């Protein structure tokens, strides 16, 4: 049985290379970026890993392709470049 939900459009700001990795992963999984983020959040809220070992390998490949070097420990220390 599926639970009916209501989705809203949002405008979030996100690190550029991180977004590229998310888009690449969503394409690889054949889902939308929104569905990917929802799934990741729901898994994290329940302290469950959101990805299989195979998917984690794909994420590492995408991180290398898009030169994503920031990690979870950096998440609350990020500062934006000045224009």
Report yes or no on 66 lying in a domain: yes
Range of the domain at 66: 16-70
What pTM did the predictor assign?
0.88
Q: Name the domain count of the chain.
A: 1
Does some domain include residue 51? Answer: yes
Q: Quickly list DSSP for the chain.
A: -PPP-----------HHHHHHHHHHHHHHTS-HHHHHHHHHHHHHTT---S-HHHHHHHHHHHHHTT----GGGTTT--PPP-
Domain membership of residue 35 (yes or no) is yes
Any domain includes 8: no
Reference 33, options 56, 49, 53, 14; nearest CA is 14
Structure confidence by residue, pLDDT tens digits, 23-82: 999 999 999 999 999 999 999 999 999 999 999 999 999 999 999 999 999 988 888 888
- For residue 78, being part of any structural domain is answered with no
Each residue's pLDDT tens digit, 25-42: 999 999 999 999 999 999
* Encoded tokens for 53: 């070992």
* Residue 75: inside a domain: no
């Amino acid at each position: 049985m599926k639970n009916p939900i209501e989705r809203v459009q949002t405008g979030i700001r996100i690190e550029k290379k991180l977004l590229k990795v998310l888009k690449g992963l969503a394409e690889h999984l054949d889902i939308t970026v929104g569905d990917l983020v929802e799934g990741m959040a729901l898994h994290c809220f329940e302290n469950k890993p959101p990805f299989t070992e195979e998917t984690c390998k794909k994420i590492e490949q995408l991180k290398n392709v898009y030169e994503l070097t920031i990690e979870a420990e950096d998440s609350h220390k990020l500062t934006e470049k000045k224009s």
